Structure 1
């Protein structure tokens, strides 16, 4: 009588973080928003289910070490999806080195380059990837001079339990539209789909299981899974989504673990005959009443903060309400800033880009809280724009939020004060904005209006080209973050912004 030999099943845990944005410190979660995109996503709504302290890298380190202890060091891979070491005041002081040191302590295996990982300039990104004890890569970023992928081969092959796992890193195709163009001079950013098609045959010859570590965002990850066969798992980033349960398209699973060091993603793949036969996705929420901090990382963080402590912890003002940041709808924090620009700069309206990182302000507000929301050294600009230019700008934000081609999605809702309008994303492109008013009067397409914004918007980030076409452009040396800090210091208690509700959004 023949007895079949049972097939061995290997269980391998893929731990993953993404969009940490330099957020090594704990923060208070709220029921609607605390990190920038919770309670705000158009495609994948996520809310925290309680108000409590969450996150912090010493808690992340503890969770990582716990999984390794339970599952075994040889059964765990640790990945990061990018947008990692900037967007924070300590990040600015150390130019990203603080986050790299923390990541080295927990032994990452690979990091994908995100669009914000060039915030300190290409030369500094190169220095940081040399400081890292793990590769930082992207298949769709090429050096123009050589045609080679940035920093070397954009994939790794890791053997776990006799299974060869190939992991390919992707960056964000629209990076040139999200930051200072000088920071990425000499680089070309390609579409992730094409880069996968280029490297998949190469990796397939070396690996049994193929993972894509993607900073392209959930919507584009879905397109990749639909168009390309042979990817077993996509570990996502950029869109700050909690994908629970995992999405399965054809034979490809897609996962992602929010942002801001709030969650450690764990995707356990079960492999038999060199194929994934099942996956179990577990999201470790780093609630402080459920996870204890890692003492080694706690000590390291204290040492990193000590030289800058007085600046980081300077109390600026306080608030008894919750002032959060939203990404794809009106953002209370950005409304407060743009309202301040109107009041102090004597303009008709003010604009800022919609960005997807940050925290909620509540209680004492410190310098590092403000830098968490306004980390970049953009300078204030005033100019004049016609009503028609303003209308085109609002139509552009509608296109950014809901383009015909998901590959053209970039940025969130443009943040503004002083201008009222209705936005209907269900209408055809070019016809989505209506009932525009400034100063309680219907927008006059021929009239010129005085506008305040910053140098990033003037340079055309998020495809906002009309600012650069304005007249009487006055570039100041006034850094927006410092402008906000100066004005907040004069306020004993910060109230919820009064101009909320200027945008009526139909998603």
Structure 2
């Protein structure tokens, strides 16, 4: 969603026309992704929305030549976007004046025919060089954009790790690295800059996209520009944490990065967009002669013909999808839409659910899901958000309803992050919490009388004390990382080990079947228990001469961080003989 918009100024360079050697020009590259079809602003959720983004982008474009790109996942999940199969989102993006969008998971999620329809409706190309069907292209592979007399080739590359790619019959997503190697030699001789516009998240794959001047990735920290003759650029962008209509904060964007021109080091200016422009000092025209020669290269077509591509992929006619509701798309910027958005901001689209029945007595059916994941994936640590899991009892059986598209993700997270996630799970206790975590392999105790975010007093992972600095391999159900989840900001940037295609239903059914073979009821492990902590004589230690907190922590087999937190000690070196140290 737009509160996570990544807006990056990545190109502050000397871009000259042949007739204006002494007047360096500037091109601003703006990049968004994961906008998820949010049209109207929502202050409560910190969602900017396409409407306000239109105004913001218009202001930025008045400063200098600008290119606006989107890294995908931008036409689904918003209320209005879902209502009209992404078409209202595309119409809104037309108003914002995007230059290109790469097809990501949400663009594919409506199905093959609707993907083609979205591309017809857009005023900008929806790109993908590596999505193929029946041996042909599905979308334009690239587009060429000219700004300030300089030509930029933008090649669209779609990740092979897409959740809903099975929704397009016969779809093949080729290896993006191989496809990039095919197109790059054709583009480079005819343009000044090459940009890979991707929705990739796998760093190992991204590192193989060599040769591009700029690589845009999902939730991007964009990393490179190539040298142009004697002008050597090395700039790195940073994530934008919050975006609103008046201020775009950039985290030390390009600070300390340098450009080398005739052995003179020129520092880029780093500031907020609303406080300063990005520019380079004036450079004499002799230093730029060779760089400007590229401006005279033959121009490629400004955009590949959509009609020709669409005819090619439709040459083998298929039956149209049945029972498809024909969307009646409203204009994206009527006042009515804002009104509708205000009426539905808290409504969540209820996914189709699948049922699993298991004969149980006194067993936590939701907890059973966590243990089934541990059994199926082979990890010892599981966190499950039960928000979209419904359970009921019928005739002595637990009926568990699971989201149809819910699958399992494995990440590597630190002990500190794990503790923070557990704090979030119990923060609202005793109030109802739809996102309360079910655990496998973890035993947690918390004190509800303590302040929120400081309630967890005991954590053991597979029988051992949790260590903040240690890394743990943890499996989640995908709801934990859904937009709007209280755990998203905490966990989304943690490294993903693998995304499985294993559904919760499959994992649960196999676990239940396994218990039936052994003639034993399904076992439940892991728990979160409320306790009221009492500091009594059995849980304290009196500091003796020569003692250190580290030695005391080791003596009782707990972490120094836990001891500091429990005793509210800010400086571990300041303890005195006779002081009472309470042991959790």
TM range (shorter): 0.5 to 0.7
**Corresponding residue to 2:347 among 370, 387, 404:** 370
What is residue 421 of structure 1 aligned with on the other side? 441
Cα pair distance change 1:280/1:206, threshold 3 Å: farther
Q: Deviations over 1:263-283 (max 9, x none)?
A: 87999999999xxx9877877
1:82 aligns with 2:58: no
Cα distance change, pair 284–397 in 1 and its aligned pair in 2 (3 A)? farther
Structure 1 position 128, deviation (Å): 1.0
Equivalent residues of 1:155, 1:167 under 8 A apart: yes
Corresponding residue to 1:200 among 184, 187, 202: 184
Q: How does 1:24-423 map to 2 (within 5 A)?
A: 24-28=39-43, 55-71=48-64, 75-143=65-133, 145-146=134-135, 148-152=136-140, 154-175=141-162, 178-179=163-164, 181=166, 183-217=167-201, 219-220=202-203, 223-224=205-206, 226-237=207-218, 240=219, 243=221, 247-248=223-224, 255=237, 300-305=333-338, 309=340, 313-314=342-343, 367-371=344-348, 375=349, 377-383=351-357, 390-393=374-377, 395=379, 400-402=410-412, 417-422=437-442
Q: Secondary structure at the match of 2:462?
A: strand
Deviation at 1:189, TM superposition (A): 1.6
Consecutive unaligned residues in structure 2, runs of 5 or more: 1-19, 228-233, 275-329, 359-367, 383-408, 414-434, 444-460, 465-476, 480-497, 513-526, 531-584
Match for 1:22 among 37, 49, 52?
37
CA contact under 8 A between 2:372 and 2:507: conserved in structure 1?
Answer: no
Distance in 1 (CA, whole Å) between partners of 2:28 and 2:159 is: 25
Query: Aligned partners of 1:121, 1:258: CA distance in 2, in Å?
Result: 31
Q: Distance in 1 between matches of 2:510 and 2:58?
A: 57
Secondary structure at the counterpart of residue 62 of structure 2: helix
The normalised TM-score by structure 2 is 0.46
3-state SS of 2:145 partner: strand
Q: CA RMSD in A?
A: 4.7
How far apart are the structure 1 equivalents of 2:410 and 2:189? 39
Q: Secondary structure at the match of 1:83?
A: coil
- Displacement of 1:376: 6.0
- Is the partner of 1:169 in helix, strand or coil? strand
How far off its partner does 1:135 sit? 0.5
CA distance in 2, matches of 1:416, 1:15: 38
- Rounded to whole Å, the distance in 2 between the matches of 1:381 and 1:284 is 51
1:223–1:434: structure 2 CA closer, same or farther, 3 Å change rule? same
- Is the 1:82–1:112 contact (alpha carbons within 8 Å) kept by the matching residues of 2? yes
TM-score in terms of structure 1 length = 0.53
Contact preservation (8 Å) 1:58, 1:298: no
Give unmatched runs, 5+ long, in structure 1.
Answer: 35-52, 286-296, 315-366, 404-414, 424-432, 437-451, 455-459, 475-497, 502-507
Partner of 2:491: none
The count of residues paired between Structure 1 and Structure 2 equals 324
Please give the alpha-carbon distance, in whole angstroms, between the structure 2 residues aligned to 1:271 and 1:140: 36
Residue 197 of structure 1: how far off its partner (Å): 1.5
Q: Is the 8 A contact 1:113 1:136 kept in 2?
A: yes
The structure number with the bigger radius of gyration is: 2
How far did residue 235 of structure 1 move? 2.4
Asked if the contact 1:24/1:261 (under 8 Å) is kept, the reply is no
CA contact (8 A) 2:143 2:153 kept: yes
Contact conserved, 1:112 with 1:171, CA < 8 A, in 2? yes
Write out per-residue CA displacement over residues 49-80 of structure 1, whole angstroms, 9 at most, x where no aligned residue. xxxx5612222111111112222xxx221111
Larger relative strand fraction: 1
The answer for the alignment partner of 1:344 in structure 2 is none
Distance 1:471 1:14 in 2: 49
CA drift of 1:114 comes to 1.1
Distance in 2 (alpha carbons) for counterparts of 1:370 and 1:418: 24
1:69-125 deviation line (CA, Å, top 9, x unaligned): 222xxx221111110111122112111111111111122111011112122222112
